[in-house]
Amino acid sequence: MRIIVAGGDGFCGWPTALYLSEKGHDVTIVDNLVRRKYDEELNSNSVTPIASLEERVAKWNELTGKEIKVYEGDLNHYDFLSLVFKQERPEAFVHFAEQRSAPYSMIDREHAVYTHQNNVIGNLNVLYAIKEFEPDCHLIKLGTMGEYGQPNIDIEEGYIEVEHKGRKDVLPFPKQPGSFYHLTKVHDTDNIMFACKIWGIRATDLNQGVVYGLNTEETLKDPVLVNRLDYDAIFGTALNRFLTQAAIGHDLTVYGAGGQTRGYLNIKDTVRCVEIAAENPADKGEFRVFNQFTESFSVLELAQKIQGVAKELGIDVEVSNLENPRVEKEEHYYNAVNTALIDLGLEPHLLTDDVLKEILEYCLEYKDRIIVDNVLPQVTWK
């Protein structure tokens, strides 16, 4: 299948591009490399030393004989995107290419506006490009579990049957996102749902939970292929942050009470979920939503798990409850459905102590690269 991986230089996109290429698909990466620029802006870095995108795809070609084409450019530039569609004629468009940090979107007005423009307009351009050039192309869009927020009822996969004043309907599940970033995903969802309805586009929204880990079988083939690993308080996500904190003997930074519960998945499952979506396309006009996570944990549970694993490796770290920089529920009900991908064949890589140990050992190898000043949160929601 001809597949475009937009955002293919990023944390989820790079291993996905390799995985799909390994499976024999004809993969093209589209990326404007802005993630690397955020690092310059924030004086931050990946714990692992990542090669340039050019070096990455050249090494992949050298090792496997497979070619991954690259277009460096911005989804917000419609002329560029049109050219990519005309030249590549994608059968599936995997869309990872958004500004994905909640704290980054909450820095100030400029960052909130940038995040909205980048994400919402970029996605709208993709919808128009599909309509104009490849109406049969399946859009596989990365959404987020955070679109739903943390309601006091079970979270369904995209839709809920509601009975109101004696009448019934199946309606989009209510959205209560917790940052301007998460809000952009809700706006994307509405735009995609509308485009499916009016133009007959086929789309799958993968409402992904927090991703942890860094390696897949493909990124392990050579150090030049290593994935990025974010740890700073803006782009680092909970579990990966705690592991890097443990590696440098820093207190594990649980925000507030630590009862914040989220769905999590291993990066090895991210790549497989995208493959499953591609192999089982949505029907024409269908807007399908899959909840993409494998297990749920509270942040306190995660910190305690990592504290235990670190101890086994001879590292003593404390769990510290910091004043929460975010405005969010710290104790809440959380029960989300995630059966659609499992029914289609996903076999989850679960979070065992061995899995944690393996990632922690990787963090230990590169711990000298960690800039300690970037570990504590500085962006607040207020």
What's the one-letter identity of residue 136? D
7, interface contact from ligand USQ, ligand NAD, none, CB < 5-8 Å by kind: ligand NAD
User: In this chain, which of 67, 74, 91, 156 binds ligand NAD, going by CB under 6 A?
Assistant: 74
What's the one-letter identity of residue 233? A
CB of 82 to ligand USQ, least distance (A): 27
If one asks whether residue 338 binds ligand NAD (CB under 6 A), the answer comes out as: no
Choice between 76 and 253, CB closer to ligand USQ: 253
If one asks whether residue 12 binds ligand NAD (CB under 6 A), the answer comes out as: yes
Q: For residue 144, is it left (φ>0), alpha (ψ between -120 and 50) or beta?
A: beta
Site stretch for ligand NAD (CB under 6 A), options 27-35, 156-164, 329-337, 350-358: 27-35
53, interface contact from ligand USQ, ligand NAD, none, CB < 5-8 Å by kind: none
Site stretch for ligand NAD (CB under 6 A), options 7-15, 194-202, 252-260, 362-370: 7-15
Q: How far apart are CA 325 and CA 237, in angstroms?
A: 14
Q: For residue 26, is it left (φ>0), alpha (ψ between -120 and 50) or beta?
A: beta
Choice between 134 and 205, CB closer to ligand NAD: 205
Active site residue 144: yes
Q: How far apart are CA 203 and CA 147, in angstroms?
A: 17
Show the binding pattern over residues 198-237: x = contacts ligand NAD (CB under 6 A), - = does not. ----------x-xx-------------------------x
Choice between 38 and 200, CB closer to ligand NAD: 38
If one asks whether residue 118 binds ligand USQ (CB under 6 A), the answer comes out as: no
Choice between 169 and 190, CB closer to ligand NAD: 190
Q: How far apart are CA 204 and CA 280, in angstroms?
A: 10
Choice between 124 and 282, CB closer to ligand NAD: 124
Q: How far apart are CA 256 and CA 322, in angstroms?
A: 6
Active site residue 128: no
If one asks whether residue 134 binds ligand NAD (CB under 6 A), the answer comes out as: no
Selection from 273, 287, 295, 296 nearest residue 345 by Cα: 273
If one asks whether residue 102 binds ligand USQ (CB under 6 A), the answer comes out as: yes
Kindly tell me the burial class for residue 36, based on how many C-beta atoms sit within 10 Å of its own C-beta (0-12, 13-18, 19 or more): middle
Active site residue 185: yes
Which positions from 196 through 225 interact with ligand USQ, judged by CB under 6 A? 209-210
Q: How far apart are CA 164 and CA 53, in angstroms?
A: 52
Count of beta carbons in the 10 Å neighbourhood of residue 345: 11
If one asks whether residue 95 binds ligand USQ (CB under 6 A), the answer comes out as: no
Which positions from 234 through 253 interact with ligand NAD, judged by CB under 6 A? 237
Question: What b-and-e string marks burial along 306-324, b requiring 16 or more CB atoms within 10 Å of the CB?
Answer: bbebbeeeebebebebeeb
If one asks whether residue 115 binds ligand NAD (CB under 6 A), the answer comes out as: no
If one asks whether residue 289 binds ligand USQ (CB under 6 A), the answer comes out as: no
Q: How far apart are CA 337 and CA 224, in angstroms?
A: 37
Helix (H) or strand (E) holding 365: helix 353-365
* Residue among 148, 181, 231, 334 flagged as catalytic: 181
Kindly tell me the burial class for residue 66, based on how many C-beta atoms sit within 10 Å of its own C-beta (0-12, 13-18, 19 or more): middle
What's the one-letter identity of residue 112? A
> Is residue 274 within 8 Å of residue 206, measured between CB atoms?
yes
Would you name the residues annotated as active-site residues? 144, 181, 185
Residues of the shown chain interacting with ligand NAD in the complex, contacts defined by CB under 6 A: 7, 9-13, 31-35, 74-76, 96-100, 118, 122, 142, 144, 208, 210-211, 237
What does the binding site for ligand USQ look like in residue numbers (CB under 6 A)? 100-102, 144-146, 209-210, 237-238, 241, 253-255, 260, 262-263, 299, 326, 328
